Chains A and B, each alone.
Chain A
């Protein structure tokens, strides 16, 4: 008896349109659409794609409660057993939408799987909730992605116990699963110690989280000609926090124009950061983001220019993967606009 599966794709792969259609609400069509055809063939008699949900990436990311309900209702309506989404490759919002769709279905007890490029932000956000198969960064890799997704999906559906990410070919989800080993823990510990003493390779049963190193850049030769940008994790945002950057476990960052602004004053700027007493930053946001002093230095010719945009997020329990991703994106923005140096302030 083939498992009944719903396939989730975005407006582009659903043939409705590109960026301009990213705001369409979710709709469902019987049978397969887009990459679903390839998947259906590969799944063969093990599973049948009974319907396809097509939803605009912006709509999904912006209306998660509604889209989540739509997905679960569709799964119920079609009496489905599982949901497969994407693959999204390196499309950021499509990756987040696919991850979210699987997350919503998994929360309602359904088996789920999707596929995307390992650097896609959707991975960090949703890998704990669903299996994700690594794909190339562009749709050119569709031919390679679908067979891997179909094979793993069939294995999960069959209820077979999965091994580690390395063995089965999915992205490590960082989820700890209990198991009963051959030996008692004490034996495993002493055996591991012997390998460590002899310098032989061993696999720790739990990896402590650690950070990597970056090689330092050379100094800026002439500051009086340099454009300097301000970036902060202290959460300084325009009044009202327009991009709703969360007080902890932030999911986004903001970039705000400060041309003509010579001082951050209370009532115009505030802090969105939930990790410290906000009194002092709200009284004078310069205490976190020194715009006033840098404007003086700019006027006195000590620095070439204060870059017109400052970037900000809330560094409070932020997922490391997200912070890394944003750092790369902001860095690229500044480099493309020939900024020579950045002052990073944090609280």
Chain B
């Protein structure tokens, strides 16, 4: 899970989840606590989905 997809690709990561921003990849300070946790949950669920999926090459989910 990383905010700059091209960098993850260049270092060889195979399952990549784009995230929010560098200082807070899985959060956003402008949202309220509930909103931010919902955002984080959506991103983590995407990660779990990626772990569940077979991939042949570098894939951005």
**Direct interface between A and B, CB < 8 A:** yes
Residues of A at under 8 Å CB distance from B?
A: 211-214, 216-221, 223, 226, 228, 234, 276-281, 283-284, 286-288, 290, 292-294, 296-297, 302-303, 341, 343-347
Q: Is B57 within 8 A of A344, CB to CB?
A: no
Q: Given the interface contacts A216-B15, A219-B51, A223-B48, does A281 sit within 8 Å of B41 by beta carbon?
A: no
Q: Which residue in chain B gives the minimum CB-CB distance to A288? A: B25
Does B40 lie within 8 Å of A216, measured CB to CB? no
Nearest CB in chain A: distance from B20 CB, A:
8
Complex alpha-carbon distance, A343 and B40, angstroms: 13
How many residue pairs at the A-B interface have CB separations less than 8 Å?
96
Give the total of B residues in contact with A, Cβ under 8 Å.
Answer: 35
Question: CB distance B22 to A347 under 8 Å?
Answer: yes
Q: Give B residues with C-beta under 8 Å from A.
A: 1-3, 8, 10-15, 19, 22-27, 29, 36-37, 40-41, 43-45, 47-48, 51-58
Q: Is the CB of B51 within 8 A of A290?
A: no
Choose one: A213, A276, A284; the contact of B22 (CB below 8 Å): A276
A223 CA to B52 CA, complexed, in Å = 7
A-side contacts of B19, CB under 8 Å:
345
Q: Are the CB atoms of B41 and A344 closer together than 8 Å?
A: no
Cα–Cα distance between A286 and B43 once the two chains are bound (Å): 12
Q: Which residues of B contact A284 (CB under 8 A)?
A: 27, 36
Check A346 against B1 for contact (C-beta < 8 Å): yes
Minimum CB–CB distance for B10 against chain A, Å = 6
Report the 9 A-B pairs with minimum CB-CB distance, sorted nearest first: A287-B27, A216-B14, A280-B24, A287-B24, A346-B2, A219-B54, A276-B23, A341-B51, A345-B1
Q: Contacting A281 at CB < 8 Å: which of B24, B52, B57, B58?
A: B24
**Is B40 a contact of A286 with CB atoms below 8 Å?**
yes
Known: A213-B12, A345-B25. A290 touches B40 (CB 8 A): yes
